[in-house]
Amino acid sequence: QRRYRALVENQTDLVVRLDPALRRTFVNANLAAHLGTPAETLIGGYFGDRLPEAETQALRRRLLELTPRAPTCELENAMVLPSGEERRLHWSVRAIFDEAGRIGEYQALGRDIS
């Protein structure tokens, strides 16, 4: 577990895990630093709170298309920083399904492509 945490925390990519309602269950230090917000403040918050509304709806539609046979997708979205600056991010997303085929969580790796 210590090695796994070190791998994730030292990742140069932005790492976030989301529950099915798109609430953050985990963010790595790099994502917290990118957003200029402490990680503990981001946990439990809605992922869409940093996205323009049209981007949030597009993200939701895309994630609902994921299935156990096709659990991954690539997507881009704008993200608004606390300063008001808008950045463009590219995400690789994996839906994690339970034994019944229901989405339990999403894991996303992101990069700022602005």
- pLDDT reading at 93 higher than 70: yes
Binned at pLDDT 50, 70 and 90, residue 49 comes out as confident
Predicted structure pTM score: 0.85
Write the CA distances from 97 to 14, 40, 76, integer angstroms.
22, 26, 23
Mean pLDDT across 79-92? 89
Mean pLDDT across 63-76? 95
CB contact at 8 A, 50 and 79 = yes
- pLDDT reading at 8 higher than 70: no
Tens digits of residue pLDDT in 26-42: 999 899 998 888 999 99
